[in-house]
Amino acid sequence: MDLLPTEEQDEIIGTVRSQLDRSFDLHALAKLDGANSVVDSALWTQCAELGWFGLGLPEALGGVGYTLAEEALLFAEIGTHATPGPFLATVLAGRLAAMVGATELAQQILDGSQLVALAEPHGDGDATAGATVSGTFRVTDFGGADLVLVLVGTSASIVAAADLVAEPMASLDRLVPTAIGTVSEVQALCYQDDASELVLRATVLVAAELAGIATATAEQSTQYAKDREQFGTPIGSFQAVKHRCADMAVRADAATSLVRYAALAVLDGLPDAAFHAHAARVVASKAAVENSQINVQNHGGIGFTYEHTAHRFVTRAQVRSRTIGDLRSHLGGLLEQPAAL
């Protein structure tokens, strides 16, 4: 199986990267730290016009007509740039609404006019999704949201944000505003009781973002090792530094390859697609967390300062590794879904 992007996919990567370079510079993100909403409406509209929110959705359903493979490439770039905003919730909610026939709602999500937050069960309390939604949820990007995508197990619902009673809570990543939201028997605008395919796609997309973080931090460390000199020579010539950079590159490459394979396995409906999705998520989570931490160490004193961008990847890796499940749940998924022999 060829895991290298095609020429057309390379064009998609180039377009996404160019837009993110212009609009989401890492050094400029500090002005959004701690904000209730990190979404710039003009930039969000640009992303919608580029077709990012419906990239993997069939044209017949209002999307661009590409697949999960291209969506994974998009989310890898989002991870590489530590891009803030509810991209995951928007892509998933747009797909859910389109698939169940809520055409008008889907269009509003895809054109960026309706902002979507993501809600997952919080704590050990009972939480339900389906025709009605109730329970206590951890909600990301709630500020300014019009809608909330609620995921509980393999059930998915979209509800109006006004139906949640939310209290902001401190977030490890100051560019991912978080709240605790409570819902009591609210009617969903649309729902799917068995949204296992949607959750599987979400697993791959989060893994792709984590792989992007692993790649960005490996590249950031390598560049610094070339530029920074000590005792008259680049620090990359020192064994301790170059070995760490090499290990980072291997972790990032492994995560990227597994994510691309998982995307194709899910896309082709392979019998062990779930196994590969969980495997990609586990490897990408560990790669992102380890690489982001080592990246700080490789940068020495400046890496530990708030002014440097290394910390952006540390906090994002920690938050994303706990989005749509966590390391433990995905390791459990590997045991429940053995690979085909």
Q: How many CB atoms lie within 10 A of CB 268?
A: 12
Are residues 270 and 298 located together in one domain of the fold?
Answer: yes
Summarised one tens digit per residue, pLDDT across range 109-168 is 999 999 999 999 998 778 999 999 999 999 999 999 999 999 999 999 999 999 999 999
- For residue 260, give the CATH number of its domain: 1.20.140.10
Joined tokens for residue 337: 């879904």
Summarised one tens digit per residue, pLDDT across range 21-63 is 999 888 888 889 999 999 999 999 999 999 999 999 999 999 9
Are residues 183 and 208 located together in one domain of the fold?
Answer: no
Residue 130 belongs to some domain of the structure: yes
Can you name the residues that pair with 180 across neighbouring β-strands? 138, 167
Compute the distance between CA of residue 20 and CA of residue 81 in angstroms, rounded to an integer. Answer: 7
What's residue 339's pLDDT?
60
Q: 92 phi and psi, to 5 degrees?
A: -70, -45
Handedness of CA 10, 212, 204, 160 (dihedral sign): negative
Of 142, 177, 192, the one marking the end of a domain is: 192
Residue 113 belongs to some domain of the structure: yes
Are residues 93 and 221 located together in one domain of the fold?
Answer: no
Are residues 235 and 315 located together in one domain of the fold?
Answer: yes
Q: Give the number of residues written for the chain.
A: 341
The H or E element that residue 273 is part of is helix 273-298
Range of the domain at 275: 196-336
pTM, full prediction: 0.96
